[in-house]
Structure 1
Amino acid sequence: MARNTGGGQGSDAVVGAEVAATAVLDSRGVVVRWSPAAERLLGRPAAQVLGRPALDLLARPEPAVVAATRRALRGAPEVRSAVVTVRCGDGRLLELVLWAYPSTGPESPGAAPHWVVLAVEAAQMRRWEGDQAVMEGLFSQSPVGLLVTDTELRCVRRNVALERMTGIPTAERLGKRIGEALPGLSAEAIESQMQQVLDTGVPTMDFVHRGRTVADPEHEHVWSTSTFRLQDPAGAVLGLCHAVIDVTASYRAQERRTLLNEASLHIGTTLDVMRTAQELAEVAVPRLADTVTVDLLDAVVAGEAPEPGPVEDSVTLRRAAFRSTWRGHSRAAYAVGELSRFASSSPQARCMADLESRLVARLDYTADWLRDDARRVVGLRAAGAHSLMVVPLAARNVLMGVASFYRWQQPDPFDDEDLTLSAELASRAAVCIDNARRYTRESAASLALQRRLLPSELPELHAVEVAARYRPAGAESDVGGDWFDVIALSGARVALVVGDVPGHGIHASATMGRLRTAVNTLADLDIPPDELLTHLDDLVVRLAEEDGPSGSPPTGGTVTGTTCLYAVYDPVERSCTLASAGHYPPAVVHPDGNVEFPRLPAGPPLGLGGMPFETTELDLVDGTVLALFTNGLLLGRDPDIDVGLQALRRSLSHPDRPLEQICDQVAATLLPLRPPDDVALLVARTHALGADRVATWDLAADPAVVVDARSLAARKLTEWGLKEISFIAELVVSELVTNAIRYGLPPIRLRLIRGTNLICEVSDSSSTSPRLRRAGADDEGGRGLFLVAQLTQRWGTRYTPNGKTIWTELAAPHTM
């Protein structure tokens, strides 16, 4: 049988009268009427068909069809249908579905019946039947909810799935808008979206809304809806079709994935234990819970390592975080930083005892564990908390605390999926808290080491008045290798030192301690600043070789690249000799407030080896302020060095203030709360020793002048009011001058300096250094230096370009 492949009109055309092929047969089966639709369908005009038997149109008159037709013509009253194959006017074979209806006209009631025959192309009929089956399935079997509305958005038809979703029978829903039938939904937003589709004809996809229905009033559901406009073949608007899918499960799963992703980004942004706990609370509220509290073991907050495994219920906890959408919570009950305790029967205590999460879907305020914690219960009851989850904060089998999640605003209680999600959040937070705890412990150890290695207090010297500040990076959480020092030298001189070891942590602090000790040892040798830096450079090279390429710990960096500034101030000469190893020059603040940064020879950082260092000498008037600092001071607020230098210049421009006030002003101006690098600042105000405090005599290389030297020293001490120590001073002068005459070379010079202590110096042009030794019982000499060492506080040798100087210090009366 041939099939027509053109001219189909769709399912709407099948049921339209204008496309139905109609013929009227008389009682003998002869065609007496032939409709225009029949002419178009078969391609035969009425003139070719009228008056002919209808059976002649069949291409293959099957016996069953012929027999059925004859029985119908004999007067069978029922409607008949059949599938036949006819030959069209152009020779094509066309399969048709026929319906035959008997009809007796009112003008001849007793006459034989005529037959009205309707014919539809079989292929078109099958499409229409398929469409009908689809429509029937959509409204009876489809899991997708369907709603058909009129142009006033009133329900005219809905399917079984939508009836199950809403819990409202279709009979009660017909003729009503969504807002009238389902008040638990956001009807205004839904109807606004539907009206827009009705007005524009532009369909909408995946419009998400949430709410509660009669079918499940205890839980909130999420639906995704799509809406398109219905029109007839002429384009007239009939209404809307609204498809609804319940996506609650997938929506919540996506929310959980999103929340976990945000948690990975927002929890653990710092290495601060308390801040990390607060980040957990901030992520969970209000997405998962309405109120979250995080309680940590007190040892964890302090950076200590708890014992592995569960803990007893008597452990001390500290409130590390609290966040809630309700502002009426008692601050006394939820204050961050305060100690917190839980009843032994509480979910929190049981959670810490077995490291298992707890879910309390409905809070029972008559429970013993709630009654034992009346202060917290007052806040929970006032907020209307109805559901609770408690999860342990454990990482690497170490319990660090417990997190409690409450719901009071969200009406749905927590479920098992919420418990799984909270446990995942807590697990991630616990790892971050443990990392922060370990960092806190290391930082505390580094800070303690740093403070022990830095000067505990600055010395009180006549030559300079000093004040200092040290600020670790990150608000005392990331110490480094910056240091400062004030070292008393011979001749009332003083050494001012600042240095910067690269890196942070214990390694940098320990390296700084080694270098500071080395500087103090080298300073005791009274060598020039450039020579001291040369020896220090050799030490750094050896330390770098000890570390090796693979020996550098992860927190410490390398010792190579250490910078240092070493300055020696002589109050007698009123001069300052400086040498720099890759360090910033000091700020020199003159008494009139003018601030300058002197140009120093660009010495290399320590550890490069083989590079020379040079000295620079500055003449300083009495009252000049020197500010030595590390680079972290200039880079605290702005990466531009020039900006930092200008800010430092402004902060130092009033040198008449107390040094402590100057230090505070510099720190407040140049340093943020959390400086990016550690900072060392040393400020010194110079005090010159005038001629009235220094006495100098040139002596002949004759043993007879020893008596004269003693007399000169005695008169000067009497003049200075130091008669109490005159005897000891005379004895020291006698021994030193005798030693210079006997073993040294002329010229010989005696100098007394009245500083904080009495300084006695004897110089000669020999470079031979005296040695302290114990004389035998029978020796006639050799006891001079031993006697000097016993009578003085300090003594030593200082080499000069023209020889050497033997110096001693004697404690002077406090009346000085």
Structure 2
Amino acid sequence: MKKALDRPSGGAVGALPHEEVILVPIAWDDIGGLADAHERFLSGAPLEADVRGPVLDSWKRCRLAGLEPHRTACPHVPGPGLDDRFLHAAEPVLGDLTVSLDEMGVTVVLCDGEGRVVQRRGGGRELLRCLDKVSFTPGCDVSESVSGTNGVGTALTGRRPFYVAGREHFADFLVPFACAGAPVRDPLSGRIEAVVDLTCLRKHGDPAMLRLVREAARSIETRLLEQATERERALLAAYWRARHGALGWSWPGHTPPGPGTGHRSAELGPVDLALLREKAEALIASPEHTLDEVVLPGGRVATLRCRPVTAAAGGTGVVVEARIRGGPGPAAAGPGVPAPPRAFPATAGTSPSAPSPASPPVAPGTDGTPPAAPHTPVTASPSAHGGDGPHARARPGPDDRGGSGRGGAEQGGDAGGWPLLVGETGVSRLAVQARRRLELLHDAALNIGSTLDVTRTAEELAEVAVPRFADFTAIDLPGSVLDGEEPEPFRAGTVLRRVALGAVHKDSSLYDVGAEIRFAPLTPQARSMDGRQPVLEPVLAEAGGWLTQDPARSERILAAGIHSLITVPLQARGATLGVVSFYRSAKPAPFEDDDLALAQELAARAAICIDNARRYTREHNTVLALQRSLLPRGRPEENAVDVAFRYLPARTGVSGDWFDVIPLSGARVALVVGDVVGHGLHAVTTMGRLRTAVHNFCSLDMPADDLLAHLDDLVCRLDRGEGWMTEPSHQGSGIIGATCLLAVYDPVSRRCTFTHAGHPRPAVVAPDGTVTFVDLPPTPPLGLGGTPFETVELEPAEGSRLVLYTDGLIERRSQDAGAGLDTLRTVLARAGQAPEDTCEAVLGALLPDRPDDDDVVLLVARTHALGPERVAQWDLPEDPTVVSRARAAVTAQLAAWGLDELAFTTELVASELVTNALRHATGPVRLRLLWDRALVCEVSDGSSTSPRLRRARSEDEGGRGLFLVSQLTERWGTRYTADGKVIWVEQPLP
């Protein structure tokens, strides 16, 4: 075999421009290796990587067909053969290949499209004796469903080149051989017409045989294409001979008409010619129509007429002549003036050029796929009998005065027409189909993947395919893909969910959208996902594996008229995401090979879009989970306010909106709402930083304006420290753009302090429904630095609602902030008093749907007052003897509140705090008890010096008071005021 690779196999077999490398292992010994794998397969044991995937798939099909290895043989069938056109194209290629392999012990086999042997060439004596023994001779049927896995039948079933050797054959009688087969397609229709096969004894087998048969198949396809162009050139010559002879011209070497006698085609541009060619192809493809009119820009009208043509060798075709009327330009040529050949257009996409029998037209692609315009646009002449044919349209053109045939043409001035296109009816039908397929792929590229939603992308695939390609299209995906996770390898029993179903009508008995499906191992869908290859079932009623899924449902599907199926795995970036099934029922023609290629292209484009949507879903869910973990969990429990909140993440990306309800000392509460401009992970992590910083600053009991000043300074330092503001490539990645609103409510004084940094104004709703937007002075967002923040203090009535929100609530693309505020005011005035009712009413009016491009946070807090019955305070003189009176007052108050269990601890704490205030501070001293969710004891004085917890040494006489306080209470701290400080402690209630 090395000799065949080193030297060319003849002029007909050319080198491949892009050779595909296929690594195929040499078959193992019959004892062990593949023989054991074959036995395990027959017993039903799993094989996994022991056998090549294509071979294992073929074994499964053989078992499904009911074949038994020891009983399978090659039966002979009558009448195998190929038409003369194909044999004429294949003869020189197979002859050269046979000569090049003459000394290799390899026979060259040609089979028809059904897998029946037509010719067998060459091969040594030993090989031929073995082939005759198993009846591998002309006339035998080696299709896979009859003879099992082999180079011919499996290449036909898989529709691709295939190499098999030794025990990789399913049938025992083929084990002594190695063979490689490649299908040969008609270059115009893409249909498999034959198979070229190389067969040798197993000891001479080499995977390089696969390259040889692939080259041979492509060479035959090239010669078939050349035959088509030869026929068209013959029609072209016949047309000009008849045309010029009728008008008294000579051919070849005629003299074109002089200036002023030209026809109107010289005015046509590339767009006009492309439109006319498209209409001409459709006209040739429709035998019942011979006349058409095309309206061109500028008020011109083109009349297209079909004329039958017969070449000298007997080949028949159709010529389309065009005449242009109306619009600017030179006058139409008079009667008897022929059309100059230069107006004849070349192949689609090229400019008009003069036809020449000596210059062959441009050939379509030779890669086995149907070309966009399979026929070569050459002209042909009217036949001797001429005429338009019996199927001309009833609506004649303006220049058709009742005549048909050549007599009518001559009298009606048909000499002014010019040949536009020539071809055969079947070839033009293929051209129209190819154009429709290209249009379908173009629409798929535009319409599939318009969103980053997995389900919607699957629905778009169904909408594109139905009804232009299939009557029913079903897309099934595993739940992991819908959730954005990485898809797992497909295994038997994997649950898929029907995500989309496109249908021409509802009565199909197919699984509905939302159904969970476990495809049986032998169904086309399972075979597609398992083998990662498309599966074509032209006749669904004969597909035994398909019937194993649900026999009763399968019968109903067949009864509904569904007769053909293509299943294609959705694959992207090496992963299988699901499967798409195309069904035909109303369309009479079953799916063919060229439909399989189109289905693969549609599925490939959709798979990329689905995978993009899946990856986006995964990233979105990750960022959303991170953001939710950074937001408050559950509803905060505070006596000062009743709180309800809503957080709505955007559809297109998670941003950095957040909120907080933070308890402060003295029964106060801080309400915080913030917004980080931008989306994605950076915005979420920035939000987490700012929220943590706000918590830390609140624990220091800072005034509201000081807290924002420290937060602004922190943002500036973070920006500078991480270099975001100095690197041009990171501009816009810093925290600048974050806004914040802070409201601190004191239930004892019923006063609320507001301050903000570039945030929308909050609303205060009085118990009577009056809505007031707090008039906060404008301030820039966080991160600019050096801007003082001002506060506004209000005293809302008890039961008022404080409404804080982010800009996503009132600002949308279709609505500005002013209109949103007006709507918000109206809704708040009508909403119920409960915070939950307020949230529902506001979102129902302002955001009936989930936000598209920005998160939304809404925080509603209804205020409560801590009445005088729960507050006790005493102003203490600067007298050391007042400590005992303070202890007695605390004990009496706790007894009145029924908190005697806390009397001893509270008495000790109050005594220590009052003693420290009298000893170390100045100014008036005040003792206050608050009975809230905890018992709060506060001592205030006029000093700004804060006590410090320290560890006293053994010889120290003092320094242990605050240590005892911290051990006896839950928490303690210092709060600074305008005229001093407050030392506070909290104890949990019994």
TM-score (norm 2): 0.59
Aligned to 1:521: 696
Aligned to 1:661: 837
Aligned to 1:42: none
User: What is the aligned counterpart of 1:251 among 424, 432, 447?
Assistant: 432
Per-residue CA deviation, residues 535-590 of structure 1 (Å, 9 max, x unaligned), is 11122223333262698999995421100001111112211111110001101101
1:195 partner amino acid: R
Aligned to 2:671: 496
Q: Give yes or no for contact 1:571–1:689 (8 Å, CA) kept in 2.
A: yes
Aligned to 1:300: 481
Q: Could you tell me how far apart the structure 2 residues matched to 1:148 and 1:521 are?
A: 84
Is residue 2:563 matched to residue 1:363? no
* Cα offset, 1:722, TM superposition: 2.5
Q: Could you tell me how far apart the structure 2 residues matched to 1:229 and 1:583 are?
A: 87
Q: 1:542 to 1:375 in 2, by over 3 A?
A: farther
Aligned to 1:445: 622
Question: Residues 706-745 of structure 1 correspond to what in structure 2 (within 5 A)?
Answer: 706-745=883-922
**Secondary structure of the corresponding residue to residue 364 of structure 1:** helix
Per-residue CA deviation, residues 360-396 of structure 1 (Å, 9 max, x unaligned), is 2222346133233325514421321221111111111
Q: Give yes or no for contact 1:701–1:747 (8 Å, CA) kept in 2.
A: yes
Q: Could you tell me how far apart the structure 2 residues matched to 1:478 and 1:234 are?
A: 69
Question: Residues 646-657 of structure 1 correspond to what in structure 2 (within 5 A)?
Answer: 646-654=822-830, 656-657=832-833
Per-residue CA deviation, residues 772-802 of structure 1 (Å, 9 max, x unaligned), is 2233444432222122222222211001121
1:371 partner amino acid: T
User: What is the aligned counterpart of 1:326 among 488, 505, 512?
Assistant: 505
Per-residue CA deviation, residues 508-559 of structure 1 (Å, 9 max, x unaligned), is 1121111111101100111011111111112222333326269899999542
User: What is the aligned counterpart of 2:517 among 337, 340, 344?
Assistant: 340
Q: Could you tell me how far apart the structure 1 residues matched to 2:950 and 2:774 are?
A: 46
Q: 1:557 to 1:374 in 2, by over 3 A?
A: farther
Per-residue CA deviation, residues 258-288 of structure 1 (Å, 9 max, x unaligned), is 1112111111111111111111111111111
Per-residue CA deviation, residues 694-731 of structure 1 (Å, 9 max, x unaligned), is 22211122221111111122222223333332222212
Aligned to 2:270: none
Aligned to 2:964: 787
Q: 1:148 to 1:702 in 2, by over 3 A?
A: closer
Q: Give yes or no for contact 2:308–2:317 (8 Å, CA) kept in 1.
A: no
Q: Could you tell me how far apart the structure 1 residues matched to 2:605 and 2:441 are?
A: 9
* Cα offset, 1:203, TM superposition: 10
Which moves more between the two structures, 492-501 or 706-715?
706-715
* Cα offset, 1:754, TM superposition: 2.1
Q: 1:655 to 1:623 in 2, by over 3 A?
A: farther
Q: Give yes or no for contact 1:633–1:671 (8 Å, CA) kept in 2.
A: yes
Q: Give yes or no for contact 2:914–2:939 (8 Å, CA) kept in 1.
A: yes
Q: Could you tell me how far apart the structure 2 residues matched to 1:156 and 1:404 are?
A: 40
Aligned to 2:408: 230
User: What is the aligned counterpart of 1:573 among 746, 749, 752?
Assistant: 749
Q: Could you tell me how far apart the structure 2 residues matched to 1:555 and 1:472 are?
A: 25
Q: Could you tell me how far apart the structure 2 residues matched to 1:697 and 1:148 are?
A: 108
Q: Give yes or no for contact 1:505–1:556 (8 Å, CA) kept in 2.
A: no
Question: Residues 583-594 of structure 1 correspond to what in structure 2 (within 5 A)?
Answer: 583-594=759-770
Aligned to 1:195: 395
**What residue ranges of structure 2 are gaps of 5+ in the alignment?**
1-243, 253-283, 292-304, 319-382
1:496 partner amino acid: L
User: What is the aligned counterpart of 2:771 among 589, 592, 595?
Assistant: 595
Q: Could you tell me how far apart the structure 1 residues matched to 2:497 and 2:635 are?
A: 38
**Secondary structure of the corresponding residue to residue 715 of structure 1:** helix
* Cα offset, 1:656, TM superposition: 4.4
Q: Could you tell me how far apart the structure 2 residues matched to 1:608 and 1:687 are?
A: 37
Q: Could you tell me how far apart the structure 2 residues matched to 1:647 and 1:654 are?
A: 11
**Secondary structure of the corresponding residue to residue 768 of structure 1:** coil
Aligned to 1:483: 658
Q: Give yes or no for contact 1:504–1:555 (8 Å, CA) kept in 2.
A: no
**Secondary structure of the corresponding residue to residue 677 of structure 2:** strand
**Secondary structure of the corresponding residue to residue 734 of structure 1:** helix
Per-residue CA deviation, residues 282-312 of structure 1 (Å, 9 max, x unaligned), is 11111111111111122211211135xx633
Larger Rg: 1
Aligned to 1:273: 454
Aligned to 2:323: none
Q: Give yes or no for contact 1:319–1:334 (8 Å, CA) kept in 2.
A: yes
Q: Could you tell me how far apart the structure 2 residues matched to 1:147 and 1:790 are?
A: 102
**What residue ranges of structure 1 are gaps of 5+ in the alignment?**
1-124, 134-142, 179-189, 205-225
Per-residue CA deviation, residues 476-504 of structure 1 (Å, 9 max, x unaligned), is x6322101100111111110000001112
Per-residue CA deviation, residues 591-633 of structure 1 (Å, 9 max, x unaligned), is 1101111210112101112222111111211111110000000
Q: 1:745 to 1:370 in 2, by over 3 A?
A: same
Q: Give yes or no for contact 2:660–2:671 (8 Å, CA) kept in 1.
A: yes
Aligned to 1:512: 687
Task: Choose between structure 1 and 2: higher strand proportion.
Answer: 1
Per-residue CA deviation, residues 669-700 of structure 1 (Å, 9 max, x unaligned), is 11142313110110001112233322221112
Q: Could you tell me how far apart the structure 1 residues matched to 2:619 and 2:290 are?
A: 69
Q: 1:231 to 1:174 in 2, by over 3 A?
A: closer
Question: Residues 75-154 of structure 1 correspond to what in structure 2 (within 5 A)?
Answer: 128-130=247-249
Is residue 2:790 matched to residue 1:609? no
Q: Could you tell me how far apart the structure 1 residues matched to 2:405 and 2:794 are?
A: 87
Aligned to 1:532: 707
Q: 1:322 to 1:535 in 2, by over 3 A?
A: same
Q: Could you tell me how far apart the structure 1 residues matched to 2:923 and 2:795 are?
A: 29
TM-score (norm 1): 0.71
Q: Give yes or no for contact 1:752–1:760 (8 Å, CA) kept in 2.
A: yes
Aligned to 2:135: none
Aligned to 1:750: 927
Q: 1:278 to 1:510 in 2, by over 3 A?
A: same
Q: Aligned Cα RMSD in Å?
A: 3.7
Q: 1:174 to 1:468 in 2, by over 3 A?
A: same
Is residue 2:646 matched to residue 1:469? yes
Q: Could you tell me how far apart the structure 2 residues matched to 1:144 and 1:376 are?
A: 39
* Cα offset, 1:228, TM superposition: 12
**Secondary structure of the corresponding residue to residue 733 of structure 1:** helix
1:535 partner amino acid: H
Q: Could you tell me how far apart the structure 2 residues matched to 1:606 and 1:156 are?
A: 77
Q: Could you tell me how far apart the structure 1 residues matched to 2:937 and 2:407 are?
A: 109
Q: Give yes or no for contact 1:357–1:423 (8 Å, CA) kept in 2.
A: yes
Q: Give yes or no for contact 1:505–1:555 (8 Å, CA) kept in 2.
A: no
Q: Could you tell me how far apart the structure 1 residues matched to 2:526 and 2:432 are?
A: 34
Is residue 2:858 matched to residue 1:681? yes
* Cα offset, 1:242, TM superposition: 14
* Cα offset, 1:810, TM superposition: 1.9
Aligned to 1:404: 581
Q: Could you tell me how far apart the structure 2 residues matched to 1:479 and 1:392 are?
A: 32
1:501 partner amino acid: V
**Secondary structure of the corresponding residue to residue 873 of structure 2:** strand
Q: Could you tell me how far apart the structure 1 residues matched to 2:905 and 2:477 are?
A: 65
Q: Could you tell me how far apart the structure 2 residues matched to 1:553 and 1:726 are?
A: 64
Q: Could you tell me how far apart the structure 1 residues matched to 2:286 and 2:671 are?
A: 84
**Secondary structure of the corresponding residue to residue 277 of structure 1:** helix
**Secondary structure of the corresponding residue to residue 626 of structure 2:** helix
Aligned to 1:283: 464
Q: 1:558 to 1:271 in 2, by over 3 A?
A: farther
Q: Give yes or no for contact 1:391–1:422 (8 Å, CA) kept in 2.
A: yes
Aligned to 2:716: 541
* Cα offset, 1:737, TM superposition: 0.6
**Secondary structure of the corresponding residue to residue 497 of structure 2:** strand
Q: Could you tell me how far apart the structure 2 residues matched to 1:679 and 1:334 are?
A: 38
**Secondary structure of the corresponding residue to residue 569 of structure 2:** strand
2:500 partner amino acid: A
Per-residue CA deviation, residues 218-259 of structure 1 (Å, 9 max, x unaligned), is xxxxxxxx99993775999xxxx9999643222222212211
1:593 partner amino acid: G
Aligned to 1:209: none
